[in-house]
Structure 1
Amino acid sequence: MGGAVGLKGTDGRKTLRNAVRKGAKPVSLERGLRFLEEVQRRSQGIEFLTAPGNMGASIADQLKLEHESVGRIGKTTTSDDSIRTARLMRRKRVDLIVFCGGDGTARDVLEGVGGEAPALGVPAGVKIYSSVFAINPAAAAESTVAFLEGQIPTRLGEVVDVDEIAFRKNRLSVKLFGYLTTPDSGPLMQASKSATGMSEDSELDAIAEYFIEKIDPGTTYILGPGSTVERIAKRLGVNKSLLGVDVVKGNGTTLRLDVDEAALMDLIGKNSLKSSTKIIISPIGGQGFLFGRGNQQISSQVIRRVGVENITVVGSRSKIEALHPRRLLTDSGNDEIDRQLRGYLRVITGYREEMVVKVE
């Protein structure tokens, strides 16, 4: 829940309290609700076991979904509750454990079940780099129903996590913690994040050079995370935060570094014309996500205010060609915005080079 307020995750009680103090809202309940609504629409023959309260039962009650609530949780839930619940579900011999959250929750489930029960993640965190997550709640529902009806097999999905302390210090340190058995629903599931290779270095320089040639000194640019956009910022003379979202002018003036959603909305509001603000983003390597993974500060509200026509996507040719299937994804949390983004768009891949890539 820390993404929109720029905290890059909420692992640990102190960070969670800080997120709440900054006005962060939990998104797991909303995403879980969308998942269950879609499951209900697709199938009526599934038996549900849920964790109590806001860990599952409250959503099922809201939808008047018949279910059995099992186990106990604390008033303020922690990773211990997730681990304990996963173990209980394993002992109950459920066919599939579905959880809402990010990589931290995936680690909890891994600790609770190991490889003894299939598990599927509904993406609802900040760090969502593991390959046990569906691309969005609707895809998670489709995968769940297909798996429970025996239509698809399982595979081993990587559970990885980012060191949040290093993440907040502008260092990306990803560690593999193990593997969960997960439904193999192909394009409905995301891949693990891949790092930028040394061979991409010259491509990033070419992208930056081309972008700087086209830049408008009077325009405000919202710069998303990642090494591709960082290279553009460096050519502009801006000391960008590698993993944060920053706001600069086209003339090289830094307006704000490492901003949250509220600051973005405030800065956009000060621009008299919508067209005077543009968003520059690069898809996540190995996954292809444009929004909803690691850049939740650029929320659907921010995108709506700026306009989808004012989004520029940059990424090396090798990054795009390494995507399997070759597509870009959006999971902004707002269906209308995602629909506007879907289709085909141009990605700047080098000096005066662009590729047309499908967005799903």
Structure 2
Amino acid sequence: MRIGLVVNPVAGLGGAAGLKGSDGVEVQREALARGAVPRAGDRAAQAVRTLLSRRPDTEIVTVGGAMGEDSALAAGATPEVVRRGASDTTAADTKAAVLALAGVDLLLFAGGDGTARDVLDAVRELGDEAPPVLGIPAGVKVYSGCFAVSPAAAGFLAAEGAERVVEAEVVDLDEERYRHGLVSPRLYGTLKVPAARVRLSGRKTGSSSAIPASAEGIAQEVAARMRPGVRYVLGPGATTAAVGRELGLATTLLGVDVVEDGELVAADVSESELFDLVKDTAAVVVLSVIGGQGFVLGRGNQQVSPRVLDHAELTVLATQQKLAGLGGRPLLADTGDQETDKRLSGHVRVITGYRESAIYRIQAASEEFQA
């Protein structure tokens, strides 16, 4: 079996930096200036490592350097390199890499929704010659349905092959509008992915169908539980924004904010800023569940890093509709650190309304492929 690998090495850079995306050279430079560390290559290596542990005879075909070769070598593979990689990658480089790997049995790509769009453009150009694809989640935004739930799950699925395929949606947001709190998802098309839907992320569903009173009730309950002298970290999303409104504060819809004793301590913080704010005081991280996917950590809230979680309690919010929409599937944690994800695994109390809560299972996304 020949598996292609394409890595967008700058995918996810803007997450921990609080930039809500990584598209564009200027954003990438700003992320690096804020101390962001590239992680897409490591996540791709994890996928390849899992793949080879199950199918050691797999041939890895990729492009040079950080666009695939480095990750394959880190995973212990001896890859076939069919094209030179670029150092400062662009959408055109991703498309060219996909075109060069047209003959593989399955194409793995590491990135986010923007990378998925670039892959889709190349697949359309290839037409009937295009191989099935599968995304390794490595971006800030991973709302499309063509991604595995974790790098390990991507490797596991790749090992199973792609004899049967289904169509999965590719969606993306306008990052500039997103940075200004405007969520405008757009469907760009579909990609053929391995037919194992239970192990794919699934497309994110919005909160527009939720009863407004549900979010307001959750906000009232969170506010009632707040303790003096404790710093509360409010993650992104409409439900956590309702908490800000309940407190009479102008918090950011899609950023991470810190409040204490009813006052806004800091707004739209980066990971390093957040760590400095919680490392020496009692803190609680308040996060909402992504509808349809079940992610609590690792999708759009990378500012809440493993080291931040080492210094804070975790409170999870979700409407009853969101929990019901999961159909019994667990909540997921994908912080990038398996030990942190395992520590968080188990059962968590989810606030679902005023004086209402539910006990729900949460697990490491890396273990989802074992289901």
TM range (shorter): over 0.9
What are the residue-to-residue correspondences of 1:24-43 with 2, within 5 Å?
24-43=36-55
Which among 229, 232, 255 is matched to residue 221 of structure 1?
Answer: 232
Structure 2 matches for 1:96-135, cutoff 5 A? 96-114=106-124, 116-135=130-149
Q: How many residue pairs get matched?
A: 347
**Which residue of structure 1 lines up, in the alignment, with residue 291 of structure 2?**
285
**Aligned partners of 2:285, 2:210: CA distance in 1, in Å?**
26
* Equivalent of 1:146 in 133, 139, 160: 160
| Cα root mean square deviation, aligned | 1.4
Partner of 2:326: 323
Using the alignment, how far apart are the partners of 1:268 and 1:87 within structure 2? 46
Give 2:79's match in structure 1, choosing from 67, 78, 88: 67
Please tell me whether residue 5 in structure 1 is matched to residue 8 in structure 2: no
Deviations 1:18-38 (A, max 9, x none): 212222111111111111111
Runs (5+) with no aligned partner, structure 2:
1-12, 364-371
1:157 and 1:182 in contact (8 A); partners too:
yes
Deviations 1:255-281, CA, capped at 9 Å, x for gaps: 10000000011111342xxxx210100
Distance 1:154 1:301 in 2: 39
Q: Which deviates the most, 257-266 or 190-199?
A: 190-199
Identity of aligned residues (%): 39
> Which amino acid in the other structure matches residue 54 of structure 1?
A
In the alignment, residue 291 of structure 1 is paired with which amino acid? L
- Residues 1:89 and 2:92 aligned together: no
How many angstroms does 1:112 deviate by?
A: 0.6
Question: Where does the alignment leave 5 or more consecutive residues of structure 1 unmatched?
Answer: none
Matched, 1:208 2:211: no
Residues 211-258 of structure 1: CA distance to partner in whole angstroms, max 9, x if unpaired? 222221321000011011111111111111000000001x21111000
User: How far did 1:61 drift?
Assistant: 2.6
1:345 to 338, 348, 354: 348
Provide the rounded CA distance (Å) in 2 between the counterparts of 1:290 and 1:192: 15
- Give yes or no for contact 1:187–1:325 (8 Å, CA) kept in 2: no
**Which region of structure 1 is more displaced relative to structure 2, 193-202 or 96-105?**
193-202
* TM-score, length basis structure 1: 0.93
Q: Distance in 2 between matches of 1:6 and 1:200?
A: 29
- Decide which moves more: 315-324 or 120-129: 315-324
- Choose which of 150, 163, 166 in structure 2 pairs with 1:136: 150
Offset of residue 5 of structure 1:
0.6
The CA distance in 1 between the partners of 2:168 and 2:182, in whole Å, is 25
Q: Is the 8 A contact 2:206 2:291 kept in 1?
A: yes
Change (3 A) 1:198 1:57: closer
Rounded to whole Å, the distance in 1 between the matches of 2:286 and 2:268 is 15
Please tell me the residue identity of whatever aligns with 2:28. Answer: L
Question: In the aligned structure 2, how far is the partner of 1:13 from the partner of 1:42?
Answer: 38
Query: Displacement, 1:195?
Result: 0.9
Counterpart for residue 259 of structure 1: 269
TM-score by length of structure 2 reads: 0.90
Structure 1 SS opposite 2:311: helix
